[in-house]
Structure 1
Amino acid sequence: MAGYIQIILIGLLTAAAALPLDQSWQLVPNADGFLHLVNINPYNLPDVDPNEPVPTFVPEEDIVFRLFTRSNPTAHQLLQIGNPSSITGSNFNSAHQTRFTIHGWGGGGHDGTGSGFRNALLAVGDFNVITVDWSVAAGNPNYIAARNQVGPAGTGVSLLIDDLIAYAGADPNDIYVTGHSLGGHVAANAGKGQGGRLHTIISLDPAGPLFSAGQDDALSPQDAQYVETIMTNAGLLGIGVPLGQANFYPNGGRTQPGCGIDISGNCAHGLASTFYIESIGSTVPFRSTRCASHDEILEGVCTPSGPDANMGGEPSNHGRGVEGIFFLTTNAESPFAQG
């Protein structure tokens, strides 16, 4: 195994050495863990064949919303934007809390994160669990093209929320939107479309390549009443700066125990979802220490500053005065929480 890993390392280093110095390349895994060598410099892209058809993405038509409840925990019901009967004829119940989950690049409506999220929630309560399948855009092998659709995808989620409010009496105060990687920014744009009135957004290692703080379609603290990030590969696949009201950095937020030689960061990147799913039903919390600043996280230290808080969990930290930068340690395997 060690020899095999060395061969991989040599191959990657050789490939990197062969790249033009005026281009920015990064290994980015899709939701299935397959690595893609991506040029993330939008000003130095290869020429586009004018005869090549441009893929279209129409959120109102292309996003697939699958509803799961305790009455249909495994057999989904489809909800459609602009189709009231798809909502009124479903098991959606406005008396119950609603939770959206959104996949990242290359993912789909049937990936493991969505099913894990669904199962964890329905195990602890009566929820309307809605998985958001935006794979028509997120499945584009061109990362840049997929990245540029997080705004429209978020608008589509917001439009369905409008319909849930109008036709089923849903309350924005009962709605959480959770997304991983690119999906973390889709969740943000759903919140922007709702004017920041949604109860909670949980962004799980929101994507870093081609995103920066303050961009119109990037996550911001104003996107919901409470915005939390869980950063597990910050500065590589996840963004390197805090974008939420409360920002949690397990094990320092860059690498994670149990991941071994995580060249691409894919293992650490995916653990944000794993940690959050565990937090939903675990009796052992992900107890975290509030640090003095984000700079301390970068320096590998944490001066206790303010009250501790739990990362993730159901319900969220909304209304508990939780804000700032938090550090915690986890186990290297499940169960990850140390309390």
Structure 2
Amino acid sequence: MDQEKEFYRSLPPVDYSLADAVATDVIYKLFIHPEQEVGTILTEENVASTNLDKTIPTVLLIHGWTSNDNSPWYRPLRDSFFRLGPHNVIYVDWSIAGNKSYDVSSANTNPIGKYMAKFLLASGIPLENIHVIGHSLGSQTSAFIGKYILEFSGKKLGRITALDPAGPKFEHPLVPPDLRLCKNDAELVDVIHTDIQLYGFTAPIGHVDFYPNEGKHQIGCPRRDKASEEEVNCSHARSTHYFIESLLTKSKAWEAVYEEKDYEVTVRVKEESREVTFGHHVEKSARGVYYFETNAAHPFLKVEQNILDRTA
């Protein structure tokens, strides 16, 4: 484990000159009801004229490296949003640009984010109604969506939720906030850290940064030195499971202190700590670092309220 941490810390910064993405590398599929099995293909040219209701929340789901829109978290997250009420849910597939070497794919987050910003602005959807949710490299892509929307329109995206944003190469000291995810990228940037110092970004970078189980090895995941090839992403992927559960249930997180010394990270609850709601229903005014513990298996969150129980 320590050798892996040293390896990821030693990686050079993202080299954005390696980017080779083009606009057609991004595919958008719109879903507007839970029975819909095939998404409606959207483009920058047709998005303004589709049956997309601009008055309801629009959610974009953005996968990470070596994945696509068949990513296992897309469908359950989509269905949970529909259970909450009417939504436009857009599956993003940027796998053409995102399934190359990590060096190239990490660089492609910049132009892919630019193309997606132009797409969203062409849609005419009010920016406050847009919620971008990205996992890993998808979180870094989300950052560039926000940066380019601000550059092109002078206004900020409504919300970015970063599910264990990619850390390797982006955490290098020579990568400034304007070339990676930061709290300036949307009106609300909330971050869930579940694999710090390895695949995930370690330090707090949002308005609200959640560190379940200190953001380290997640309870119920096998140790990385014992994990199979399929299991090595377990902690990295837990961010998606926790967020999905947070749509239909409410659980608490406690204000914490993040400390890093000699590359050892601790996240400890403050005395007289404030509480916030974890995940999708986090209070818009919340700021800072928050800690909570999970269960080892589904349901992962220690639930205080079922959102769909209107009498609770």
TM-score interval for Structure 1 and Structure 2 normalised by the shorter chain: 0.7 to 0.9
Aligned mates of 1:333, 1:71 — CA distance in 2: 26
CA contact (8 A) 2:109 2:144 kept: yes
Shift of 1:56: 4.1
Question: Per-residue deviation at 1:25?
Answer: 4.7
TM-score by length of 1: 0.77
1:258 aligns with 2:220: yes
> Which of 91, 97, 120 lines up with 2:80 in the alignment?
120
Instruction: Tell which structure's C-alpha radius of gyration is larger.
Output: 1
CA distance in 2, matches of 1:223, 1:306: 27
Does 2:234 match 1:279?
Answer: no
What is the aligned partner in structure 2 of residue 184 from structure 1?
139
Per-residue CA deviations over 1:104-123 (Å, capped at 9, x if unaligned) read 00111122122222111112
Q: Contact (CA 8 Å) 1:249, 1:326: kept in 2 or not?
A: yes
Contact 2:214 2:266 in 1 (8 A): no
Compute the displacement of 1:261 (Å). Answer: 1.5
Residue ranges of structure 2 left out of the alignment (5+ in a row)? 304-312
Indicate the larger mover: 108-117 or 202-211: 108-117
The change in CA–CA distance for 1:305 and 1:201 in structure 2 (over 3 A counts) is: farther
Distance (whole Å) between structure 2 residues aligned to residue 192 and residue 317 of structure 1: 23
Q: The residue matched to 1:252 in structure 2 has which SS?
A: helix
Give the conservation status (yes or no) of the 8 Å contact 1:147–1:182: yes
1:73 and 1:122 in contact (8 A); partners too:
no
Within the alignment, does 1:129 sit opposite 2:89 as a pair?
yes
Query: For 1:264-294, what per-residue CA distance to the aligned partner results, in whole angstroms no more than 9, with x for missing partners?
Result: 7510000001110111122xx2310001344
Q: What letter is aligned with 1:174?
A: N
* Residue correspondence of structure 1 range 16-55 to structure 2 within 5 A: 25=7, 40-41=11-12
Aligned pair partner of 1:317 in 270, 280, 283: 283
State the one-letter code of the partner of 2:286: V
C-alpha RMSD over aligned residues: 2.6
C-alpha deviations, 1:143-201, integer Å up to 9, x for none?
11100011111111111111111xxxx21111110100000011111111121611111
List gaps (5 residues or longer) in structure 1. 1-8, 17-23, 27-38, 44-53
4+ runs of 1 displaced by more than 6 Å? none
User: How many pairs are equivalent?
Assistant: 284
Q: What code does the residue aligned with 1:109 have?
A: D
Other-structure match for 1:249: 211
Aligned-partner SS, 2:162? strand
Given the two structures, how large is their TM-score scaled by the length of structure 2?
0.83
Separation of aligned partners in 1, 2:66 and 2:283: 30
The C-alpha deviation readout for 1:39-73, integer Å capped at 9, x for no partner, is 94469xxxxxxxxxx994202x2200010011763
Give the structure 2 partner of residue 291 of structure 1. 256
Q: Which has the higher contact order (CA 8 A, sep 6+)?
A: 2
